[in-house]
A = this chain, B = another copy of it.
Amino acid sequence: MEFVDQAVAARAAAIELAALTRATKDAALGHMADALAAAEPQLLEANAVDVEAARAAGTDESIVDRLALNPARIAGMVQGLRDLAALPDPVGDVVRGWRLDNGARVTQVRVPLGVVGIIYEARPNVTADAAGICLKSGNAALLRGSSSALNTNRVTIAALRRGLETAGIAPDAIHLVEGGREITGDMMRARGLVDVLIPRGGAGLIRAVVEGSTVPVIETGTGNCHIFVDASADLDKAIAILLNAKVQRPSVCNAAETLLVHRDIAPEFLPRALAALAEAGVTVHGDDATRSYSDAVVAATETEYDEEYLSLDLAARVVDSLDEALDHIRRHTTGHSETIITRDAGSADQFVAGIDAAAVLVNASSRFVDGGEFGFGAEIGISTQKLHARGPMGLPEMTSTKYVIEGDGQVRA
């Protein structure tokens, strides 16, 4: 099917989806999970074709690893769909309500966004995740995955659509958008057909979608996350948080990318911290002051402070004060998650007030900035923009609202 026909079909399905009860949607998620589990043999077969093609094209093994499925990963996708059924339905939630002086009742109620387009890279689990989250929040989904996962995605989407049919829901609620690069452009300009686009992937993909779309976009995920170790920091906690934020899973957006150290604590903190980082396999890219504490620190260029490494690399700099740390972060932040380690309540307050980001952390690892850790149960991404949703996006963030005004003939004077 052509993209525009898919979008039109999705709009029609969205009208039906908006009216579904929670019970119907939860049953559908169960059928989608069953159908996906039953498709395991075909899924593994299709995925093997994709993986082989990726390897033949010389794709980096870390990307091949993201692309590859196995029975455990498929079981995870299936369980993700089942878990969604346990979450409350955001649609129909009354946000607030009041009575006008003339007696008319006003109610603000959650409604689906409508048709959601998701543009993502070669992670096959996103296909099932995003489809499930969209269904539970009453949205039709146009899923534009990487061409390198095309065979895997086709089998996944076919299974999910069979699940919808078993549940008596129009399968046009979920589409795989196929075709060349120009199709991504069509999605980005499908204002009126697509209600929102959510890019999930690297900074380049996100920038292209944000700058090229006339459809409203929710920007997710780029995280140049800083840790500032204040003069009063507890050194043990600082090192534990630094290692956790950098090393526990370096490839994700809430991992630390830059370390800022107050000059007064640097002589005590940096030798220990740099040794611990080296032991964990982290390459530190530092300024001259940082380099004076260890020969293992390589020289950082100024542009490096803007880098989201997503690897076992860390930029580092010694600053003269909290104000200088705030200034550095303001110039380099991507607005994701920024951390201060301090024992001083005043410093903590000043940092929290002075940072403009989705999340500000005091004495805790930025790895907690995550829908799962927040208890949202499902996450479509972490918004780094200020409009609509900021931070981890759960099911309520996949909705809009409408005002319902019920009167008895009221007119305005």
What is A's interface to B at a CB cutoff of 8 Å?
A: 15, 18-19, 98, 100, 104, 106, 108, 111, 113-114, 191, 195-196, 210-211, 214, 216-218, 234, 236-237, 240-241, 243-245, 248, 330, 348, 352-365, 367-369, 373-375, 385-388, 390-391, 400-412
Q: A214-B211, A385-B216, A387-B216 are in contact. Are A360 and B404 (CB under 8 A)?
A: yes
Q: For A400, give its contact among B352, B375, B387 (CB under 8 Å).
A: B387
Knowing A191-B211, A353-B19 are in contact, say whether A365-B412 is a contact too (CB < 8 A): yes
- Chain B: CB-nearest residue to A399: B386
Within the complex, which residue of B237, B373, B403 is in contact with A409, where a contact is CB–CB below 8 Å? B237
Q: Which of B240, B244, B411 contacts A365 (CB 8 A)?
A: B411
Closest-by-CB residue of B relative to A383 is B400
Are B18 and A386 neighbours in the complex by a CB distance under 8 Å? no
A359 touches B402 (CB 8 A): yes
Q: Which label, helix, strand, loop or mixed, suits the secondary structure of the A interface? A: mixed
Pair B104/A364 contact, Cβ less than 8 Å: yes
Are A373 and B412 touching (Cβ within 8 A)?
yes
Alpha-carbon distance between A313 and B114 when the two chains are bound, in angstroms? 32
A336 to chain B, nearest CB (A): 11
B360 touches A407 (CB 8 A): no
When the two chains form their complex, are residues A387 and B388 in contact, meaning their CB atoms are under 8 A apart? Answer: yes
A-B complex: 6 closest residue pairs judged by Cβ atoms: A364-B407, A237-B409, A244-B411, A386-B400, A367-B412, A387-B388
- Assess whether A356 is in contact with B409, with CB atoms less than 8 Å apart: no
Of B15, B196, B248, B352, which one neighbours A412 at CB under 8 angstroms?
A: B248
Of the candidates B18, B106, B412, the one whose C-beta lies within 8 Å of that of A356 is: B18
Which residues of the partner chain B approach A362 to less than 8 Å between Cβ atoms? 404-407
Identify 17 new A-B residue pairs, CB closer than 8 A, beyond the known A18-B356, A113-B386.
A15-B356, A18-B353, A98-B375, A100-B374, A100-B375, A195-B386, A196-B387, A243-B411, A244-B412, A361-B406, A363-B410, A364-B408, A364-B410, A368-B407, A387-B388, A391-B402, A391-B403
